[in-house]
Amino acid sequence: MSNKTDGQEILHPIGVVAQMFNISVSALRLYESKGLIIPLKSQDTHRYFTESNIKRVDQLAEVATIFSEFIF
């Protein structure tokens, strides 16, 4: 499920973004708590990700993959 803002930008809920990258919702929340991503929040505190947020998550996922190759 995706939503559109007034400017017609597509917003993706946190669960959808987690599925897109096969990562946990808690990982996305951790990225947010560290200031690595800043999703939009609705009045009821649901997180929504813009296309620029999704690009950033993609970059973070790539970095995580690279580091996991060195660790394991």
pTM score of the predicted model: 0.80
Amino acid letter, 12: H
Let me know how long the chain is.
72
The span from the CA of 56 to the CA of 16, in Å, is 15
User: What top-level class would CATH report for the domain 3-71?
Assistant: mainly alpha
SS3 66: helix
Say what the pLDDT of residue 65 is.
86
> In this model, does residue 55 exceed pLDDT 90?
yes
Query: How many other C-beta atoms can be found within 10 angstroms of the C-beta atom of residue 38?
Result: 14
